[in-house]
Amino acid sequence: MTRRPKSPEQSLIEAMRGWGDVLLTWRLCPRTACARARACKGDARDCFPRHFKLLPQGVQDWFAGIGQAQKEGAPFDEAIEWLDSEGLGEALGAWCEAVEQSLPGRPKPPPLVGEAK
Ligand SMILES: [Zn+2]
């Protein structure tokens, strides 16, 4: 079987889809197919930038930090360490946890004190 080399366009789509998986942008996608697959099934070039803006600020900063580290040629694990020390790893972790808890079939968080009637 021969594989055709990926076009730069294809690589870009795949990279964006991969980042969408890391940042869980599919959670913000109104498409049923994306929600069901828990991954972006649409055109990631359209989906990713659109949903990115809705991410918590800390998560956006985390991603910007990765981009900056990449531009400076820093190794990935060093970039992660740096972002953790800036508290941004924590922001990403909190976001992932919130997404996890928001999914159907998860136990609901208890009602806030004073809210339950
Ligand atoms: Zn989507």
Instruction: Give the pair of three-digit tokens for residue 39.
Output: 């991954």
Identify the pLDDT of residue 42: 83
Ligand 1 center from residue 14 Cα (angstroms): 13
Burial label for 16, CB within 10 Å (0-12, 13-18, 19+), is buried
Structural domain boundaries enclosing 30: 11-54
Ligand 1 center from residue 25 Cα (angstroms): 8
pLDDT digit of tens for each residue in the chain (117 aa)?
667 778 988 888 888 999 999 999 999 988 888 888 998 888 888 889 989 999 999 999 999 999 999 999 999 999 999 999 999 999 999 999 999 988 877 677 677 777 655
**60 located within any domain:** yes
With tokens 């990926």, the residue in question is 6
Would the CA dihedral through 82, 85, 86, 92 be positive or negative? positive
The whole-angstrom separation of Cα 64 and Cα 58 is: 10
Identify the pLDDT of residue 1: 60
Whether residue 63 is found in the same domain as residue 97: yes
Whether residue 60 is found in the same domain as residue 35: no
Whether residue 48 is found in the same domain as residue 69: no
Whether residue 77 is found in the same domain as residue 47: no
Whether residue 63 is found in the same domain as residue 88: yes
Whether residue 15 is found in the same domain as residue 41: yes
Indicate the number of domains in the chain.
2
Ion ligand 1 residue ranges (Cβ < 5 Å): 29, 31, 34, 40, 42, 47
Identify the pLDDT of residue 54: 95
**89 located within any domain:** yes
**84 located within any domain:** yes
Instruction: Give the pair of three-digit tokens for residue 40.
Output: 């972006």
Identify the pLDDT of residue 26: 92
**2 located within any domain:** no
**110 located within any domain:** no
Ligand 1 center from residue 58 Cα (angstroms): 22
- Sequence-ordered list of residues with C-beta below 8 angstroms from that of 70, at least 6 positions apart, any chain: 79
